[in-house]
Chain A
Amino acid sequence: MSYILQGKKNEINRQSLIIDIFIWAFLILAALFILAPTIFMFTASLMPANDILKMPYRWIPKGLYLQNYWQGIRGNDGSFIYIRNILNSLIVASAVAATTVIFSALAGFGLAKYYFKGRTLVFMLIMATMMIPFEAIMIPLYLVTTKLGIQDSYAGLIAPFLVNAFGVFLMRQYFITFPDEILDAARIDGASELMIFRTIILPNSIPAMATLAILTFKAQWDNLLWPLLVVQSEEMKTIPLYIVKFMAEKHTDEGAMMAVAAIASIPILIVFFKLSKYFLGGAALYSSRKG
C-alpha cells in the first residue's frame, strides 16, 4: 500500500518538475524575445551599416563604431540640431509633468476634501474628458493654436496637456483617505487653506505625485502626433520628429538610425531602471480605478 502511494507521489513530483521547467523555459524565451530588439538597437548602433544587415546577425560588435553616434548628433547637415531637439523634448515633457502634477493635486484636493454644491457634477465632467480621444479633437486644437499664434512654439506644444483627467482622478483617490482631523487641527491653528495645501498636503503626497510626474513625462517624451501638427521649424522639433526626419534623409544608414534611437532611449531607460517601482506602480494604478 505504502509502496503504491510512494510511486504515485514520485510521479506527481516528476510531473510538477516538468511543469516547472516548462514555465522557466517559457518565461526565459519570452524575456529574450522582448529584450532582443532593445539589445539589437544598442549593438547595431555600434556597427557600420554593412554589419547590421549581415546574415546571420552578430550580436557582439567587432569594435566600437562610434561614427554612428557622431553622425546622429551632428546630423547629416552638420547643424547639431538634434541637441536642440532633445532639449525641446526635455523642456516640454518636464513642463507638462510639472503643470499636470500641480493642477491635478489642486483639483484632486478640492474634490476630495471640500464639500461644495456641484462637486459631483464637476468630478463627472472632468472624468468625462477621459472619453474624448485626443485624435478626435486634434484638428480643432490645431486651428485654435494657429489662431492664437502659438503654433511652432513651446506654448503650443505644452498647452493641450497642462492637466489630464487621469491625474485628477489619481490625486483625488490619494487624498480621500487623508485624515480630516489633521486638516481641521491646522485650521484651528490658523492655517489658511492654501497653507494647508502647501505645508500638509504636498509634502505628504510625494509618492503619488512622483508616479504621476513620471507617467506624464513618459507620455510626452513619446508624443508624436501633436508635435507633428504644430511644429514647422527645425528648431522647435522634438525627438520623435527628429527621428522621423532623420530616417527620411538620404545619407542616413541603419547604424546612424540606431544611434539616434539609442540616444533618445538612454535617458528614459536610466530613469526607468532607477525608478522602476514608480513605473510599475503607475501601470498598476490603472487597475485600481474604483470609486
Chain B
Amino acid sequence: MKRTLGEKVFQYFDAIIMLCILAIIIFPFMNIISLSVSSREAILTNSVSLWPKGFNLAAYGKILGSMLFLRSLVNTIGITVIGTFLAVMLTLMVSYALTKDFLGKKFVTYYFLITMYFSGGLIPTYLVVAKYLNLRNTYLALILPYLISVFYIIVMRSQIENIPSSIFDAAYIDGANEYQTVFQIVLPTIAPTIAAISMFFALGKWNSWFPVMIYTDYDKFWTLQYYLRIVVFSKFLEAKNSTELILEEAQIPEENFRMAAIVLVALPIVSIYPFVQKYFVKGIISGAVKG
C-alpha cells in the first residue's frame, strides 16, 4: 500500500511522542543514578542533573557493607521465597478442590468468594494479628496474613477446569489419590499458570513494606523497601533501635547515600523485569478475560 505524505509526517510525529515518553520514564532514573555516583563537590554545589559529575562509589560501598542493608536483603528474599511458595501451594490446593464435587461445596465456594467483597478493615485486622495472636515482632505476621488471594484462586480454578478429563481418569485408574493428582498431574499440566501466579505473588511480597511498619519494632525485621523508606524519607525517629543508619562519616553526602540506596533497592527488580514481563502481560490479559 502506498503511504501518503500525511502518513509519513504522522510516523515522525508518532516516533517523537514515543521518544518523549521514553525520556519521561528514563530521565528520573538517570537523575538518581547520576546523583548516586557523582563526587561530593558536584553534589554539594547542586550541579548534577542527568549525567554524573566526577565519580565516587563510596556510598555504594558503605551500604553494601552495612549489616542493616544485608539483613534487609536477606529478610526480603526469605519472605518472598517462603511466602510465594506457601501462597502458590495453597492457591493450587484450593483451586483444585473447588473443581471437584464434594459435600458442602457451595458453602466453601461462598466462604472464599465473600472475602473478596468484605473485610474487617485495617484496624480489626491489626488488632487480631498484633494483640490477640501476639504475632507482633515475628516473621509470621509478615507472611501468614498475606497468603490467600481469592482472585488468583478463581484464575487458577478456571485453568484447572480446562484440563481434559481424560487426564484425570487416567490418574484415577492408576490409583492416584487427591494429593498425588494435585501435585503430580495438575501442577505440571498448568505449569505456565503456576509460574505466572508465582511471579505476581513474588512481586507483591518483594515490594511490600506496610506489614513491617505496623507489625514490627526492630530493624532486624526490615525488608529492603522499608529500609529504603527509612533512608529516603529520613523518619529516623520511627526507626527504633537503629543506630547504624546515622551517617557519622561526613565525607559521604547524604544525597549520595540516599540515591545509592534507591539504586540498590530498585536494581534486582529492574534487572529481572525485562525477562519476566511477558508473563505479567499474559497474566494480566488472561485475568481480565477470565475475571
* A, B bound: no
Q: Which residues of B contact A (CB under 8 A)?
A: none
